[in-house]
């Protein structure tokens, strides 16, 4: 029998999981990608919360309805000329009595490139199967749960919302462009049509999927040189033991499924 056994049931494991989510904290990433025909640069931050543990012996920890909360800040730029062709007012000449021939200059409208910032925060629920992962590294025992495979992220609703947001943001930016007022609806429609939901989904997928691919939550982390009793004076130094071995399993005991840690120590 192991010298120390610690166990939690599914309710306790759910609490442990929530602690692990807090310890993992907020993850961030940035980069650039294509958004339909346009280029987009993005910054993304993600943190996890919620979820309910379903322990499945012998080695699966299923986390149901895990919230992946994300915030996206991305900017994409496009050339209005991609939507509305540039045009020129031709040179016009007239003969004016007593003055002679008068010509207007050729006037060309070259539509500018505009940059549209979009911020969006939301969460996506997913369910994933995790397996136990035990490592001794850097003098610490770490028992974690690691996601198996890549959970499917349902981001279509978010994509639709972001597309609408892009349209609204584009309208706000385009209002500042001279002469375009009458064409605004046309340009916005052109932009959103060029991006389309598939375009946003294609952007969100590569941004958000890496946060769940290889996702690992630490449920136990202690130094191998474990402090049993803290120091309490010059002649009462800290008392330590060595954690020689740490094992973890999902066990079916009686009527319950439990996450069980077994630890052997030496003085």
Partner 1 sequence: MSLTEAEHVFAGLHEDGINDFLTAFFRVRRHHLRYGSSFFVPATNASETRMDAIPFPNVPGGIQWAVEFAIPTVDFFKDSSGGGMPSQLVLDINHLSLHTRCVISLVCGLVRVRDHGDDRGHDDKPDDKPPDRQAFGSAHVERAVFDVWAIGHPVTRFTGGGSGSLGFAIDAVELVDITPDPLESLLECLIQTLLQAALVDVALPFRSLRAGAFSLTLQRGPEIEDDQAKVYGTT
Which of 150, 241, 245, 247 lies at the binding interface for partner 1 (CB under 8 A)? 241
Q: Is 136 in the site for partner 1 (CB under 8 A)?
A: no
Q: Is 1 in the site for partner 1 (CB under 8 A)?
A: yes
Which of 19, 29, 65, 86 lies at the binding interface for partner 1 (CB under 8 A)? 19
Which of 3, 29, 65, 86 lies at the binding interface for partner 1 (CB under 8 A)? 3
Q: Is 142 in the site for partner 1 (CB under 8 A)?
A: no
Q: Is 254 in the site for partner 1 (CB under 8 A)?
A: yes
Which one of 3-11, 44-52, 112-120, 130-138 is the stretch in contact with partner 1 (CB under 8 A)? 3-11
* Burial (CB count within 10 angstroms: exposed 0-12, middle 13-18, buried 19+), residue 266: exposed
What is the residue whose two structure tokens read 């004016």? 96
The runs of H, that is alpha helices, within the chain are 10-24, 156-174, 184-212
Three-state secondary structure call for residue 207 = helix
Q: Taking the complex as a whole, how short is the minimal distance between the CB of residue 62 and partner 1, in angstroms?
A: 18
Q: Is 52 in the site for partner 1 (CB under 8 A)?
A: no
Which of 146, 173, 183, 265 lies at the binding interface for partner 1 (CB under 8 A)? 265
Q: How far apart are CA 230 and CA 161, in angstroms?
A: 54
Residue closer to partner 1 by CB (options 134, 194) is: 134
Residue 185: both structure tokens together? 């609806």
Number of Cβ atoms within 10 Å of the Cβ of 209:
14
Among residue numbers 178 through 237, which ones bind partner 1 (CB under 8 A)? 219-220, 222, 226, 228-229, 234-237
Please state, in angstroms and as integers, the Cα–Cα distance from residue 48 to each residue in 66, 202, 241, 243, following that order.
7, 22, 34, 30
Which of 8, 55, 159, 215 lies at the binding interface for partner 1 (CB under 8 A)? 8
Q: Taking the complex as a whole, how short is the minimal distance between the CB of residue 135 and partner 1, in angstroms?
A: 16
Please state, in angstroms and as integers, the Cα–Cα distance from residue 207 to each residue in 20, 71, 74, 109, following that order.
23, 11, 11, 37
Q: Is 69 left (phi over 0), alpha (psi -120 to 50) or beta?
A: beta
Q: How far is CA 58 from the centre of its chain?
A: 31
Q: Is 255 in the site for partner 1 (CB under 8 A)?
A: yes
Which of 129, 240, 247, 249 lies at the binding interface for partner 1 (CB under 8 A)? 240
Size of the site for partner 1 (CB under 8 A): 40
Cα angle vertex 60, ends 59, 65, to 5°? 160
Residues near partner 1 (CB under 8 A) are: 1-9, 11-12, 15-16, 19, 219-220, 222, 226, 228-229, 234-241, 243, 253-256, 258, 260-261, 263, 265-267
């Amino acid at each position: 029998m192991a010298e120390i056994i610690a166990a939690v049931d599914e309710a306790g494991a759910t609490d442990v999981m929530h602690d692990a989510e807090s310890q993992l904290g907020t993850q961030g990433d940035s980069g650039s990608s294509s958004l339909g025909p346009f280029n987009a640069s993005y910054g993304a931050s993600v943190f996890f919360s919620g979820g309910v543990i379903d322990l499945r012996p012998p080695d699966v920890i299923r986390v149901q309805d895990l919230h992946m909360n994300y915030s996206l800040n991305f900017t994409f730029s496009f050339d209005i000329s991609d939507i509305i062709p540039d045009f020129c007012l031709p040179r016009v000449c007239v003969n004016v009595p007593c003055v002679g021939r008068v010509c207007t200059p050729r006037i060309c409208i070259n539509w500018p490139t505009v940059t549209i910032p979009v911020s969006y925060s939301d969460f996506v629920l997913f369910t994933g199967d995790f397996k136990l992962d035990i490592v001794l590294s850097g003098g610490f025992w770490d028992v974690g749960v690691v996601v198996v495979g890549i959970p499917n992220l349902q981001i279509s609703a978010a994509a639709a919302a972001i597309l609408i947001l892009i349209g609204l943001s584009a309208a706000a930016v385009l209002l500042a462009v001279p002469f375009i007022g009458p064409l605004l609806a046309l340009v916005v429609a052109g932009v959103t049509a060029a991006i389309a939901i598939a375009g946003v989904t294609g952007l969100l997928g590569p941004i958000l999927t890496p946060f769940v691919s290889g996702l690992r939550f630490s449920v136990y982390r202690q130094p191998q040189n474990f402090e049993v009793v803290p120091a309490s004076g010059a002649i009462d130094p800290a008392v330590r033991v060595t954690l020689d071995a740490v094992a973890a399993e999902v066990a079916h005991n009686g009527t319950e499924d439990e996450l069980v840690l077994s630890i052997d120590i030496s003085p």
